[in-house]
A and B are shown apart, each in its own frame.
Chain A
Amino acid sequence: MTTYTTIAEDTRPLHHPKTWIGKYVWSQDHKVIAIQYSLTAVGVGLVALVLSGLMRMQLAFPGMLEFITPDAYYQFVTMHGMIMVIYLLTALLLGGFGNYMIPLMIGARDMVFPFVNMLSYWVYLLSVIVLMASFFVPGGPTGAGWTLYPPQAITEGTPGAGWGIIMMLTSLAIFIVAFTMGGLNYVTTVLQARTKGMTLMRMPCTIWGIFVATILGLLAFPALFVAAIMMTLDNTIGTSFFMPAIISNNVALDHSGGSPILFQHLFWFFGHPEVYIVALPAFGIVSDLIATHARKNIFGYRMMVWAIIIIGALSFIVWAHHMYVSGMNPYFGFFFATSTLIIAVPTAIKVYNWVLTLWRGDIHLRVPMLFAIGFIFTFIHGGLTGLFLGNVSVDVPLSDTYFVIGHFHMVMGVSPIMVVFGAIYHWYPKITGRMWDTMLGQAHFWITFLGVYAIYLPMHYLGFLGVPRRYYEMGETAFVPESVHLANVGITIAALTVGAAQLIFFYNLIYSYFKGRKADPNPWGATSLEWLTPDTPPAHGNWGPDLPKVYRWAYDYSVPGAAQDFIPQTTPPGPDETPHDH
């Protein structure tokens, strides 16, 4: 067995580009693909950010911006939601961080199929182009709400019911093809291409989160794919999968016997795992940020890994908690409420373990750590309101109010974005070889962190008052007091401030890329493999002539008796050291 070399150790298959275009455009290097994915995702995310600013303007100052018609408002709602969830977060966390980190952290030279990986990016770009093109088709993009519920998504009167919805569904189907090509690569790479000594239970939590999230994606996106095909057929050739007999504008449509609820089931069978596709990589990354910057091993590593796996598995049996008010059998509500609340157990374990990792740690409040701790706050906050909405009887009055908006923005909008920022600050020195400016980073953190509370905390209050979401304007409604209008103005000011503060972030990254001081190869004293590459930024092929050998888990921080307060994963065990068998 000693002579057996794995496929990963064979360096011959590696593709070596010669031209500039081969290196940076049609690149098969996982790091370049990761950057391409990230830049595209952030670019399209900025569009969604601007849309949210416009929506806030309308809510706070109705009618001030005249181009925001009711139709435009619904189109902004829809595009903002879909872009943020799928084209920004999913693409950035899996296509961006997944691509960059998996081969580096498990000690591989690249993904197992670099060509398929490259295709994945270009197909993703195509899906983004199709989505953006829907802004320019007759009737504009779809305004069906990001959940695209039929029958309204494709009936007359909904903005974009002609072209817009078809562009959206097409773009989603293309995205799923792109994701599948990338996802197969990520899973196979983690399973089959790890370096010597890198057992699954020695992988950093980052990889565990990305790995399980990718599996979720591969099993959940099919439901959306099927739903997209069926709705396209309903819309174009007149099938009736989702369309019941319906009268629209006094005309009976040529549909009958379909099931709108079926679409909701398919959509949420994808949609709920999607929450964890975004959350699990964030969970994993934040575990590593906290351990590294608190100079302590992550508390309960095995438990953390199992919690990720259990959350991933449970996420497939909770989808109908999005449908309590859709007219479901109450016994279903009972089942889905129970499974939903059970997910709180592994999730709470993770939160306790993060806090226990911080407990008596040697905490360095560097910018990535600030964002990691900020994440714990926003995530606990959003998680607790999730308990409200998971219970049927509490959810019914809160459904479709601003409470829901506040909840899911805290838990799956702000929280993963906090981790994304933390992760970018954390790995920026490795990716670019330069160091960012600390003052600007701190300013960025504090404005963002305090700002999101100023945005979303009042929304919970609005929700309790019963203010419905997705309304173009409140007008003179008896149950909506004056304080709601005041709160809306405050929220909008906070939202625009936070939006503008992101310019600090981009300025910091761009300026530092050219003018920042040269970064140390391992500025945080981290243990995992990506910090131990011979070159910073890592060169094509990542490692020198030989792959690194791993002797320990990624969390040997502040080991008593060790020379430094961290021991890299490649350091063999000392003579009087009992190896940490994780």
Chain B
Amino acid sequence: MSQNTHVATEPHSLETLVSDWSTDQEVFKKVQWGKAMMWIFLLSDTFIFSCFLTSYMTVRATTMVAWPNPSEVFALTLFGENIPLILIAIMTFVLISSSGTMALAVNFGYRRNRKATAYLMLATALLGATFVGMQAFEWSKLIAEGVRPWGNPFGAPQFGASFFMITGFHGFHVSIGVIYLTIIALRVLNGVYDRNGKYEVVEITGLYWHFVDLVWVFIFAFFYLW
């Protein structure tokens, strides 16, 4: 502990940081190329989603018409009671749970437990598919109520435009993730990674999946809760 504080206050600590980074051959030691590449891709993708969300906030601020109240628009009547945001709460719960099963899959992957890894990945894919299914339900409900990208009965036309664009782009990411997870899970099951020893692939898939979940948290916060 005391040694750590010593390093942090060392006047040359910036220099050590630089020399650590500029070290021989590999910046991230023993890290698979695919894993490094996935991290960099996710950084780039973060900028895409940030631009989408910032743009949504900007048009929400510039539009002349009042913004629809999300708690009312995204309410469902269940058992005779009108519950705000209930569907989206379930969807969020499902997606966050899928991150849990994914994390377990990565763990079992490194323990070389072929079957547990594959089944947990398939469970993750199933939860993801459930999420997309519920999103399809949400879309069709809103469309039935007259929400369109160019206008809606509740208020500013940018509401529908941003909603379909952002959740659509995220849903596209989830769908790609479901396909990706299924392919990798089947390869795990077939023992491909037992033979070539590259169980990192499971972790790389996991990186993508956790990212898609994390983005959802931001969409949920900025679109549904605001």
Where the two chains meet, the residues of A that have a C-beta atom closer than 8 Å to any C-beta of B are: 4, 6-8, 112-113, 180, 183-185, 187-188, 191-201, 218-223, 225-227, 229-230, 233, 237-241, 245, 254, 256-259, 262, 265-266, 269
Contact = CB atoms under 8 A, between A and B. Distances in A.
A505 to B, nearest CB: 35
Contacts of B24: 194, 196-199
Given A188-B33, A239-B158, A241-B158, 17 more contacts: A184-B37, A193-B33, A200-B23, A218-B43, A222-B44, A222-B50, A222-B51, A226-B51, A230-B55, A233-B149, A238-B149, A239-B157, A239-B161, A240-B63, A259-B62, A262-B55, A265-B58
A239 B25 contact: no
A218 B40 contact: yes
Interface string B52-73: 1001001100111100000000
A226 B36 contact: no
Nearest to B34: A113
B138 to A, nearest CB: 19
Contacts of A199: 22-24
13 contacts: A113-B33, A194-B24, A194-B25, A195-B25, A200-B21, A201-B19, A222-B48, A240-B63, A240-B150, A240-B157, A241-B161, A258-B63, A262-B58
Nearest to A217: B44
B44 A257 contact: no
Top 7 A-B residue pairs of the complex, sorted by shortest distance between their CB atoms: A200-B22, A257-B63, A239-B161, A222-B47, A226-B51, A238-B150, A222-B48
A7 B32 contact: yes
Interface in B1-56: 18-19, 21-28, 30-34, 36-37, 40-41, 43-45, 47-48, 50-52, 55
A63 to B, nearest CB: 43
Given A113-B37, A188-B37, A199-B24, A257 B150 contact: no
Contacts of A257: 59, 62-65, 156-158
Contacts of A218: 40, 43-44, 47
B189 to A, nearest CB: 24
A185 B48 CA distance: 19
Given A200-B22, A258-B158, A191 B51 contact: no
B165 interface: yes
Q: Chain B binding site: helix, strand, loop or mixed by DSSP? A: helix
Given A226-B55, A229-B165, A266-B55, A192 B33 contact: yes
Contacts of A229: 165, 169
Contacts, number: 138
Contacts of A223: 47, 51
A4 B24 CA distance: 13
B52 A192 contact: no
A192 B21 CA distance: 11
Interface of B: 18-19, 21-28, 30-34, 36-37, 40-41, 43-45, 47-48, 50-52, 55, 58-59, 62-65, 149-150, 156-158, 160-161, 165, 169
A180 B44 contact: yes
Listed residue (A180, A187, A188, A259) with the most chain B CB atoms within 10 angstroms of its CB:
A188
Contact of B150 (A185, A221, A222, A239): A239
Listed residue (B18, B44, B158) with the most chain A CB atoms within 10 angstroms of its CB:
B44
A241 B36 contact: no
A245 B63 CA distance: 10
Given A192-B31, A223-B47, A226-B55, A233 B165 contact: yes
Contacts of B63: 240, 256-258
Nearest to A189: B33
Nearest to A582: B22
Contacts of B23: 199-200
B26 A6 contact: yes
Contacts of A113: 33-34, 37
A58 to B, nearest CB: 37
Contacts of B48: 222, 225-226
B48 to A, nearest CB: 4
A254 B32 CA distance: 52
Contacts of B27: 191-192, 200
A258 B165 contact: no
A149 B165 CA distance: 21
Contacts of B59: 240-241, 257-259, 262
Given A113-B37, A191-B27, A192-B26, A240 B158 contact: yes
A116 to B, nearest CB: 8
A524 B144 CA distance: 72
Given A197-B24, A266-B51, A259 B58 contact: yes
Contacts of A188: 33, 36-37, 40
A183 B47 CA distance: 15
A257 B161 CA distance: 12
Contacts of B33: 7, 112-113, 188, 192-193
A374 to B, nearest CB: 32
Contacts of B34: 113
Listed residue (A7, A218, A239, A265) with the most chain B CB atoms within 10 angstroms of its CB:
A239
A191 B36 contact: yes
A266 B23 CA distance: 36
